[in-house]
Structure 1
Amino acid sequence: MKKVFFACILLCSVNLTQGQYKEEPAIILEISHMKWDQKVINLGKIKLNNPSTATFRFTNNGTSPLIVSDVKASCSCTVAEFTKEPVGPGKSGQVKAQYNASKLGSFSKTVTVYYNEEGGMETLTIEGEVVE
């Protein structure tokens, strides 16, 4: 008799808890995602005192606008420009890095891009060789 009584209590409590469960609606996150065509550009051999520019293109593969907040060059010999308006989903933008070739020899310079994505920082590299 005790076994039947406990079985009934167990079944009743299971039925009550099932009625209390309520499924939460799915949460859709707005995520931007920066996809680069390339992160390293080799300018090859460039002439001394002849500034050269590398253009890095990116696409927003996310679901919300992508905003580049800043771009910092690794040295004063490199100047960076970037798309300042928000880049919508499926749209493209760019970062241009101009290197002032004032010294002979091989070079490798970086620009760091900051944007509104979790961990939103990317380092891009331009490299080459300055010749006379």
Structure 2
Amino acid sequence: MKKLAILFSLFAFVMVLQANAQDAGSGAVISFKENSIDFGDIVQGQKVEHTFVLTNTGKSPLVISNVAATCGCTVPSWPKEPVAPGKSAEIKVSFNSTGKMGKQNSVVRIYSNATEPIEKVSLISNVIPKTN
């Protein structure tokens, strides 16, 4: 009886793994042209922005539920409607360097129904002081 219980447990475990693998193959997948952009030196107080282009390379519609930045100095905007398989969309991110100094790496997290549910993009810069 003990062997039967172990065999049944192993069978159930394999079935769960197989179901998860099938789901992963049929879901949405985010592919970015680039995951980061480096602006180099920018003057304190300067605002920079970049538009990250993503493509849904999966087999299901991509739904972005939220996009969150690491600080209030970075503001993202993203598509609220689903992105069909094979289609592209844009996530626009702006960074305000007011009150910042030195090397900055503003990370933005993209939360979605993709097989990898959290993706990251970043704006990199080196904030230098204003010269009068």
- TM-score for both structures, normalised by structure 1: 0.73
Task: Kindly indicate whether the alpha-carbon contact (under 8 Å) linking 1:43 and 1:54 is maintained by their aligned counterparts in 2.
Answer: no
| Residue of structure 2 in register with 1:78 after alignment | 74
| Residue of structure 2 in register with 1:10 after alignment | none
Moved over 4 A (4+): none
| Residue of structure 1 in register with 2:55 after alignment | 59
| Residue of structure 1 in register with 2:34 after alignment | 38
Of 86, 104, 107, which aligns to 2:104? Answer: 107
The amino acid across from 1:114 in the alignment is Y
CA distance in structure 1 between the aligned counterparts of 2:116 and 2:124, rounded to whole angstroms: 25
CA distance in structure 1 between the aligned counterparts of 2:80 and 2:41, rounded to whole angstroms: 31
- Cα offsets for 1:73-122 (capped at 9, x unmatched): 00111111111111111110121211111123221110100011234101
The amino acid across from 1:53 in the alignment is E
Give the structure with the higher percent helix. 2
2:82 is equivalent to residue 89 of structure 1: no
* CA RMSD across the alignment: 1.8
Residues 69 and 97 of structure 1: is their aligned pair in 2 closer, same or farther, counting only changes over 3 Å?
same
Aligned residues: 106
The amino acid across from 1:79 in the alignment is V
CA distance in structure 1 between the aligned counterparts of 2:80 and 2:64, rounded to whole angstroms: 6
Q: Percent identity?
A: 33
CA distance in structure 1 between the aligned counterparts of 2:27 and 2:110, rounded to whole angstroms: 18
- TM-score for both structures, normalised by structure 2: 0.73
CA distance in structure 2 between the aligned counterparts of 1:98 and 1:119, rounded to whole angstroms: 24
**Structure 1 unaligned spans of 5+:** 1-26
CA distance in structure 2 between the aligned counterparts of 1:42 and 1:83, rounded to whole angstroms: 23
**Structure 2 unaligned spans of 5+:** 1-21
CA distance in structure 1 between the aligned counterparts of 2:31 and 2:106, rounded to whole angstroms: 21
Q: Return the index of the structure with the highest Cα Rg.
A: 1
**What secondary structure is seen at the aligned counterpart in 2 of 1:97?**
strand
- Cα offsets for 1:2-37 (capped at 9, x unmatched): xxxxxxxxxxxxxxxxxxxxxxxxx89632111111
The amino acid across from 2:71 in the alignment is C
